[in-house]
């Protein structure tokens, strides 16, 4: 990756935006010119990058002139407004919002799973929902062991999934409770410290919240299994960073052995087997925080169902669940001579 790229980050002052800057440095992403974009409210802030400070600019339609690749993480409405301008200016956009994920003309990509879904000349690529990425990094290796018929998933989602403000709120509420003060929710709808609650997104007519609905439909699109049966329950838990998931995978016919599942995980790119029964060490959000791999363990046959295996997964929502996945897409495009 010797070619230098002109790079823009929209949403640079948010939690995911900060991770982009760290990843550009740690992965030696070939940034030539860097343009940091955000709302008018954040314009003028200066963010550190490679020993210097870069000023944040207010995003405008003309902000993408001369940009090779733009990473968007500023919400769906901003993406719908500015992605067309970026593409028209010649940039390749990797969008971390929900704006284009289910558009049939926009590839929804986890590079280890379906990088080939990006057609030649494509300028707009959707980054999936964080919970869907973490789930499928564990499930995709198992699809090579037999035909998967159904997934049953429960998520344990950290504050990082709701952004930097939610992370601060969890810290502040925890201090309030420990010091005898009444915690007052402002970012999230319920007291967060020492509590958990259904994911804070609207409930649809089927009784599923938006997060659950995203995981169901995005997983089908990414795997190319549009009839895959999936049931998901998404819960917000008082963990600062990294999401965890309990997953049961039902196969057509007899389930693979535990050792076959472990070997599939060992061999898979981007995941790490953490499955130490003797010492009761399995995936944990603290262990997953700050690392690139998704942790997979608690592997066992489901004694209630001869065709099912169960596992537990943890992954950093800000990294593989967001910024890292987007950067990996760009890295592969660059390696293929498509940037």
Residue 335 has a CB neighbour count (10 Å cut-off) of 10
Q: Which residues contact 77 (CB under 8 A, 6 or more apart)?
A: 99
Q: Are 19 and 291 in contact (CB under 8 A)?
A: no
3 state SS of 284: coil
Q: Is the separation of the CB atoms in 56 and 36 below 8 Å?
A: yes
Catalytic residue among 85, 130, 140, 234: 130
Strands in 39-165 per DSSP E: 46-49, 52-58, 69-72, 92-95, 124-126, 148-157
User: Can you tell me the distance from the alpha carbon of 274 to that of 60, in angstroms, rounded to the nearest whole number?
Assistant: 45
Active site residue 190: no
d(CA 113, CA 115) in angstroms, rounded, equals: 6
Q: Report the distance separating Cα 232 and Cα 120, nearest Å.
A: 34
| Sheet (strand 271-273) strand order | 197-198, 229-236, 148-157, 243-251, 308-315, 294-301, 271-273
Whole-angstrom distance, CA of residue 160 vs CA of residue 316: 9
**Out of 85, 140, 199, 243, which one is annotated catalytic?**
243
Helix, strand, coil percent values for the chain (each to nearest 5): 35, 25, 40
- Give catalytic status of residue 130 as yes or no: yes
Residues composing the chain: 339
Place of tokens 């995709």: 140
3-state SS of 252-299 is: CCCCCCHHHHHHHHHHCCCEEECCECCCCECCCHHHHCCCCCEEEEEE
Look at residues 112, 171, 119 and name the one whose alpha carbon lies nearest to residue 315.
112
Residues annotated catalytic, as ranges: 130, 243
């Amino acid at each position: 990756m010797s070619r230098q790229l002109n790079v823009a980050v929209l949403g640079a002052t948010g939690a995911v935006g900060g991770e982009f800057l760290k990843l550009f440095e740690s992965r030696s992403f070939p940034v030539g010119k860097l343009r940091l974009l955000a709302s008018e409210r954040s314009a003028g802030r200066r963010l550190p990058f490679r020993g210097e400070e870069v000023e944040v600019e207010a995003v405008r339609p003309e902000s993408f002139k001369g940009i090779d690749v733009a990473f968007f993480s500023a919400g769906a409405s901003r993406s719908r407004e500015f992605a067309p301008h970026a593409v028209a200016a010649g940039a390749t956009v990797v969008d971390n919002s929900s704006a284009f994920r289910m558009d049939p003309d926009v590839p929804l990509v986890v590079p280890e799973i379906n990088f080939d879904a990006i057609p030649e000349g494509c300028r707009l690529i959707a980054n999936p929902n964080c919970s869907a990425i973490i789930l499928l990094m564990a499930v995709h290796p198992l699809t090579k062991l037999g035909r998967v018929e159904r997934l049953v998933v429960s998520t344990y989602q950290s504050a990082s999934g709701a952004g930097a403000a939610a992370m601060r709120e969890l810290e502040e509420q925890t201090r309030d409770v420990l010091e005898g003060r009444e915690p007052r929710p402002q970012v999230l709808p319920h007291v967060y410290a020492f509590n958990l609650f259904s994911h804070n997104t609207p409930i649809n007519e089927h009784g599923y919240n938006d997060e659950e609905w995203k995981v169901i439909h995005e997983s089908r699109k990414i795997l190319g299994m549009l009839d895959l049966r999936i049931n998901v329950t998404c819960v917000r838990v008082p963990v600062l960073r990294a999401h965890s998931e309990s997953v049961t995978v039902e196969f057509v016919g007899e389930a693979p052995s535990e050792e076959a599942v472990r070997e599939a995980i060992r061999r898979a790119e981007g995941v790490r087997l953490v499955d130490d029964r003797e010492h009761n060490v399995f995936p944990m959000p603290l262990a997953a925080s700050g690392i690139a791999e998704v942790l997979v363990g608690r592997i066992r046959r489901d004694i209630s169902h001869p065709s099912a295996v169960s596992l537990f997964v943890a992954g950093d929502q800000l990294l593989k669940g967001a910024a890292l996945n987007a950067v990996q897409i760009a890295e592969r495009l660059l390696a293929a001579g498509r940037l």
